[in-house]
Structure 1
């Protein structure tokens, strides 16, 4: 009988161990923990699985970028390089390891927040990969597919995991959510979107009397001349999609060079002028001194406004928030 009792105790102990293992596996699954693959190996979590995580996001994180590259981020990124997306990084509370520059100056509206961050020039196309390598980023995010062309992606991806957008400016809400996912900042991304939406709605209400039934146009000046900006992105998007201004019929076909002879046909109640880094000084001077310019309806009404170039020509919620502030200050102080 004593031998039977010992065997029964051992059996009960084994059953308890098995039950405990089953309980642990169940809880891990509920937290979105990686599951065993078909061959018994642990599968790397995908972006979709990462969204299901409770608390911190799981790494390594494997995602597919907008150009079809499979990108694996081994750990929560600490040193991020995202040229022309510094706005989105800062909005999420992340300071980049380097900042974009046109070869003369960086994005001035972010100057205070990027103090001490080294610049890397894009004036001649791609930056110096040697300089980038020396700063040791552990994640690279490219703002558009142009940055990845002609073998550049292969160069970047040798330095660090590299995620490429087709064009991050085309859908800022989507792009900041993606960046938030890559950086384990999904909550911060949603907070940025919620706060921007509230700001835009408040401004739209304040500007309703100025925007309803009214049209606006943006003219950009640079070394090549004068150009209309369309309303698909940047400050044009703010005017049309966020604040409800109509778009001039002359501009609906997209951004194109401005012809002085056609300007009297500009059906815009409000005209915003952007001098691109003072590179458009000559073109702006020519316009202001033209008799044709004085005959433009918006000019006759005194509804022409000169703006700061950098954030009116930048994509990001910090930039767009500043554009909203400008428009309110111009039209409804």
Structure 2
């Protein structure tokens, strides 16, 4: 076996440490009793869900992307890199010998992965439940299967309590609807959160209104030209900071007459917050809620605004 692979497997094969806290998150908990279950994840939502349950994943796809986008709960050094999400390293998965492989509901690799270990499908949302309620429904099932039966209700209770506290803190925020955007580097288009987005799910629970509650689709965001934002003149615009992509967009938008004529831009009703994963679970939803609350505490036109 190559030296590099031997080193990677040594990291995953040892006794897994207890999952860390959520860097101060209300969802932090101690690791579950009993022997650690080895679960590999082929998406980031699975990894954050396991960590919330106190289980350290044996492996996860695109660690660097997780660290950059998910931020918390952080991945311990023992978690093995499994390659790209669209093509996880199947050979390495075989060597890891996980007890389970946690996959997203849209994965097309279930038959292939099922030959390595039992596959557990993590749902993002259902026909009748949004992403948050779907996560709440599935969390006890995952906790039971992976040996953390007491963790799920504790996590859900703490999630609800913190969300209620955040909602109370927003009582003085104005009633303007919010349009949550990703700016396209071309400076002409934006992706805007729809009625099926995690942003919508969080905003509704915080008593906030999504300015673009239409064009719902499976991807949660609708791509449209900047000019369409003129149809929501009263909205507050909040865009996700995606690093170089966002900076490229802002450079082009600076000279875009349509963008600069938007009421929200002219009146300083625009701000940026760190990006979150569009298909995240409870930890991501709570992080987004916190950032919206932080944004609400800043006056329009402050340095944090674009």
Q: Same fold by TM (over 0.5)?
A: yes
Task: Give the paired residue count.
Answer: 251
Unpaired runs of 5+ residues, structure 1, are 1-55, 58-74
- State the TM-score, normalized to the length of structure 1: 0.67
- Residue 105 of structure 1 corresponds to 65
- State the TM-score, normalized to the length of structure 2: 0.72
- One of 316, 320, 328 as aligned partner of 2:285: 320
Tell me, yes or no, if the aligned pair for 1:274 and 1:306 is still in contact at 8 Å: yes
Which structure has the larger Rg? 1
Tell me, yes or no, if the aligned pair for 2:58 and 2:78 is still in contact at 8 Å: no
Deviations 1:276-321 (A, max 9, x none): 4534443343234322222222223322121212x35351222222
- Residue 92 of structure 2 corresponds to 131
After superposition, where does 1:157-306 map in structure 2 within 5 Å? 157-167=114-124, 170=131, 171-210=134-173, 213-221=175-183, 226-239=190-203, 241-248=204-211, 250-254=212-216, 255-276=221-242, 278-306=244-272
Distance 2:213 2:159 in 1: 26
Deviations 1:235-258 (A, max 9, x none): 33212x22111122x442233212
Residue 89 and residue 233 in structure 1: after superposition, are their counterparts in 2 closer, same or farther (change >3 A)? farther
Distance 1:160 1:189 in 2: 24
Deviations 1:211-260 (A, max 9, x none): 5x321111113568521112433233212x22111122x44223321212
Unpaired runs of 5+ residues, structure 2, are 1-31, 299-306
Tell me, yes or no, if the aligned pair for 1:274 and 1:312 is still in contact at 8 Å: no
Larger relative helix fraction: 1
Q: How far is 1:268 from its partner?
A: 4.8
Residue 265 and residue 289 in structure 1: after superposition, are their counterparts in 2 closer, same or farther (change >3 A)? same
Q: How far is 1:269 from its partner?
A: 3.0
- Residue 12 of structure 1 corresponds to none
